[in-house]
Amino acid sequence: MKNKDKLIIIGAGGHGRVVADVAKTMGMYSQIAFLDDNAKKSVTDYPVLGTIADAENFVNEYDFFVAVGDCAIRKRISEKLAYINANLATLIHPSAIIGSSVVVGRGTVVMPGVIINTGVTIGDGAIINTAASVDHDCIVNDYVHVSVGAHLCGTAFVGRNTWIGAGATVINNISICDDCMIGAGAVVVKDIERSGTYLGVPAVIHD
């Protein structure tokens, strides 16, 4: 679907404000606004036009981006937007380094200072956060959040709805299943086949 000239960001928190800066820096949109269930009149000079339930009123004029950190909530809102035929934008900050043959899905944001090397596939609704790196031939599935300063080494696989915490490292050739939480600073050195929270160096499950 062709991009529109205006953008609505769902979620007016800190992450949403950073997303707005990314969109502004890209220079694609003449107008940027927010929808948020805790609506204020404006967010750092951007208007809040209503709550999330009002999205259908703007489908014909605006692209949408879901700026919610929680993977499950982001997925749920994105699916509702898809149901009403909203166009989900893909936002990539100009300072990000994107290699050849990289695929970035709809509704995904790539933040400032990110490096994504050749052959990477990133799914829909993902967050590749500030100064993270994704090395060659990784697969990062839908609604994954790769947090600030996290690093995925070559040919890693990250399952859907998984959160890679700030400063965490996933070594090369590792596979992580769906619905995992990898704690801040953790180092994943073995495949993860069971959903759960993994902490420490090396990362182990914490029930």
How many of the other CB atoms lie within 10 Å of CB of 167? Answer: 17
Q: Closest Cα partner for 69 from 156, 142, 163?
A: 163
Strand partners, 203: none
Instruction: Determine which one of 15, 93, 136, 145 is catalytic.
Output: 136
93 catalytic, yes or no?
no
23, containing H or E segment = helix 14-26
Q: In the 8-state DSSP scheme, what is residue 97?
A: E
174-179: which pairs have CB atoms within 8 A and are 24 or more residues apart? 178/141
Strand partners, 31: 6
Catalytic residues: 136
